[in-house]
Structure 1
Amino acid sequence: MDHSLETSRHKCAACFRQFNKIEHLVDHMRTSFHSHHEPTCAICKKHCRSLDSLREHLIGPLPKQECKNIFATRGCKFCLAIFDSSYSQRLHQERCQFSPVNSGLLARFANLGIRDGSTVIDSGRTRGSGAIALACKYVGGGSDGSMDICAKVCLIDEGENVIFYSYVKPVTAVTNYRYETTGIRPEHIRDAMPVKQVQKKIQEILYNGGEKARILVGDCVEDDLKRLQIGYPSFMIRDTANYPPLMKSSKLCNSLKYLAQVYLGFDLQNGIQDPYEECIVAMRLYKRMRSQVHRKENYPMASDPQNKNNFAIWRENELQRMSPEQMLEISRSDYYCWCMDLRI
C-alpha cells in the first residue's frame, strides 16, 4: 500500500471538513444578524430575536436556571432589566409600570370638551417635530357586516395630548355598528366629519403643514392608513404589530392588549374601547423601545453597503479565529431599531 497516497487522502478529507466548517460559519454569520440592538440577557449575554424569546429564557417555560434565579430577585418583569439589588429593582419597577390611562380618560375628555359626536382639533399641536400616534375604530359594512369602515379616529402627540379626535361619516352604508366594542351609534356618525375631510386633516398633521413628515406610531397602523386611503412613507412608520422585538418567538404579531399588559403593566379596558387609549398604549410602547441605550454604530444595518465586505472570502480564515464577541462586532441587524430615531 502506498502510505504517502493514504496520508494525502487523509489530508484532503481533513481539508474538506475544515472547508465545510468555515463555509458553515460564514453562512451562519451572514444569516444570523446578531447585533447590539437585539434583546440580550444581562446575565449570560445571550442574544434573542424578540423580547418574548428573552422572557422565555428568563422566566420560562424552559428558562436557563441560573438566569431565572437571578432574575426572580433582581429583574424587572416589564423591561426585563437586571438590577444590583432587590431594593433597586422594586424602586425601578414602580416607575417602570405605567398607571392605567382609563382612570383619567373621562376627565381628560371632559377638559377637552369631547362628547358624543364631537370633533376636537388642537390647532396649537398640529405642528411639531415629535412622533404622532394614530388609532381608529371600525364599524361593519357589507351584507354580513364584516367590511371594516372607519367611524372614529384619534391622533395624539408624544405628550399624549389629543391633536385630532373625530367621528367619521362613512361613504358606505353601515350594517353593523359593533356597539359592544366601539360604543358607536347611528346618531354619532350621522352628522360627523366626512371621510375626505378627515383624510385631509390627518395628512396635514402627518406632513406638518407641508414642512416635514413626522414619525407615525400605531398598532397595525399600516392597515389603518390603507382603510383611510392615506399614503405615507414606510420608513416613517413605527408599527408595534410588526416590530421584531415585540413579536412572538414564532415571528407572529402580539395583540396590543398583550403588549400593554406584559410590557407596560396595565390592562386595556374590556368592552367598549376608545382609540385614544390605544394611541396611548402604542405611543408608550414606542417611547420605551426608542429609549433603549444601544451602542452607536456608523453602519448599524446589514443592508448598508459598507458592511458587504464583512464576510468576504479573504476573511474566512480570520472569521474562524474570532471569538463570539469579535464576531458580534462585525455582525449587523436586519431590522431598523427604534433607538436610532433619537439620532435622526
Structure 2
Amino acid sequence: MRTSYHSVHEPICGICGKRSRSFESLREHLIGPLPKAECERVFRERGCDLCLNIFGSRNALRVHRDTCQLSYGYNAVLYRFANLGIQDDLRIDNGKSRAVALACKMVGGGSDGSLDLCAKICIIDEYENILFRSYVKPYLPVTHYRYETTGIRPEYLRDAMPLRQVQRKIQDFLCNGEPMWKIRPRGGKARILVGHGLDHDLKCMELEDTANYPPLMKTSKLSNSLKYLTKAYLGYDIQVGIQDPYEDCVATMRLYRRMRSQAHRNENYPLASDPQNKNNFASWRQSELERMTPEELLAISRSDFYCWCLDGKDYV
C-alpha cells in the first residue's frame, strides 16, 4: 500500500482544515452546489473569492481585496492597439535564474485554416516588462489570419522574423549560457519559463505551465482556460476582442507569482519522487498506518507534484 499524496502544498480550507487536490475542489467545498454548511457561512462572511483565504474580520477582507483584485493594466491597453515592430531585449547573464513568461498568437494554416501557426510572440519578465516581442513568419502559408481575434494582417508578416530564427533566439535566452545537455529540471542557470499550454518541445526547459499545474486544474483533472483562470483567481477579464500575447504573458506571470507566493511549511525532501521518501508500505504495516493520526500521516506524506512555492526557496 502507499501513503496518501496529501501534503502541505495542497489547498486547505481555512475553516475546517480539509485539504483538496485543487483550488477548484476547494471552491466547490466552500461555495459549490453542495458546500459544507458551516464553511459556506463563514466564507461568505469573511472569505476572498479569488484566493479562497479566510480573514479575521470583514474589514480585514476589504483591505485584502485591494491587493488581491488585479486589473487589466494600462500597459496592456497600449500594447494591444500599438502596431509595434521587433522589440528585442533578450540578454544572457550569469545571475540567478529568473522567471519569464511566453505567449503566442496563432493564425490558421492548411486548406481549412484550422492548423495553428505562430504569427506573434511576446516574452516578459517578472515585472511585466517586455523582453521580446515580434511578428513571426510561419513555416507554412497562412490561409486564415483570424483577424477578429489576432488583429494580424498579411503585411505584418511579410518582413517578419522567420520562425527558426525566433526559436533559436528564445532557446539561447532560456538556456542562459548553459549547454542543453547540462540543463536540469530544477536548478542551474537556465531560466524558468511560465506559460499556458506550453508546447511539448520545450519540456527540456524548466517549465511552469498554468494549464497543467494540478492546483489550478478542474476536479476532473482537465485544464482550465487561461481566460477562466484569470477571471477566477486574478479578478479581471482577458481575451476580449482583438487579443495581444502581452496580456496572456501578464496573466500567466501573475498566476505564477500568486501560486509561488504561498507560504507552505519547509520540507527537506518535498516530493514523493525524491529518493529519500520511501512511500511504499508492505501490507503487514497497514495496522501501523491505521493507528496514526491524520497529522502523523500528513507528516510522512509528500506531494506528487512540484509546488511553485519551491521556486522561491533553495530546493534543487
Is 1:53–2:13 an aligned residue pair?
no
Does residue 1:121 correspond to 2:92, yes or no?
A: no
- Counterpart in the other structure of 2:53: 81
- Equivalent of 2:138 in 165, 170, 179: 170
The runs of 4+ residues in structure 1 deviating greater than 6 Å are none
Structure 1 pair 187/143, CA: closer, same or farther in 2 (3 Å)?
same
Match of 2:107 in 1: 139
Tell me, yes or no, if structure 1 residue 100 matches structure 2 residue 68. Answer: no
Indicate if the aligned counterparts of 1:40 and 1:48 stay in contact, CA closer than 8 A.
yes
1:83–1:115 Cα change, 3 Å: closer
- Normalised by the length of structure 1, the TM-score is 0.83
Q: What's the counterpart of residue 234 of structure 2? A: 264
How many Å apart are 1:222 and its aligned residue?
2.5
| Distance in 1 of aligned mates of 2:272 and 2:151 | 46
What do residues 75-107 of structure 1 show as CA deviations (whole Å, max 9, x unaligned)? 111111111111101100111111213x43244
Question: What's the TM-score, normalizing by structure 2?
Answer: 0.90
Rounded to whole Å, the distance in 1 between the matches of 2:249 and 2:293 is 44
Give 1:170's aligned amino acid. Answer: P
Give the partner amino acid of 1:120: Q
Cα pair 1:158 1:283 within 8 Å, conserved: yes
What residue number does 2:253 align with?
283
Supply the distance in 1 between the matched residues of 2:143 and 2:19 (Cα, whole angstroms).
49
Q: How many angstroms apart in 2 are the aligned matches of 1:270 and 1:320?
A: 52
Aligned residue for 2:197? 220
Equivalent pairs: percent with the same residue? 61
Larger helix share, 1 or 2? 1
RMSD: 1.9
Are the equivalent residues in 2 in contact too, given 1:41–1:47 (CA < 8 A)?
Answer: yes
Q: Which runs of 5+ in 1 are unaligned?
A: 1-26
Give SS of 1:281's match.
Answer: helix
Query: Over alpha carbons, which structure has the higher Rg?
Result: 1
Instruction: Answer 1 or 2: higher relative contact order, Cα 8 Å, separation at least 6.
Output: 2
Q: Deviations over 1:132-158 (max 9, x none)?
A: 100001111111111111100000000
What are the residue-to-residue correspondences of 1:303-318 with 2, within 5 Å?
Answer: 303-308=273-278, 311-312=281-282, 315-318=285-288
What residue in structure 2 maps to residue 44 of structure 1? Answer: 16
Distance in 2, Cα, partners of 1:119 & 1:309: 51
More deviation in 199-208 or 256-265?
A: 199-208
Whichever residue aligns with residue 182 of structure 1, its letter is: T
Q: Output the CA distance in 2 between the equivalents of 1:309 and 1:185.
A: 55
CA distance in 2, matches of 1:255, 1:290: 20
Which runs of 5 or more structure 2 residues have no equivalent in the other structure? Answer: 180-188
> Number of paired residues?
303
Q: CA deviation at 1:309?
A: 5.6
Change in CA separation of 1:50 and 1:171 when aligned onto 2, cut-off 3 Å: same
Compared with structure 1, are the counterparts of its residues 309 and 252 closer, same or farther at alpha carbon in structure 2 (3 Å cutoff)?
Answer: closer
Deviations 1:227-271 (A, max 9, x none): xxxx4525x100000100000011110000000000000000412
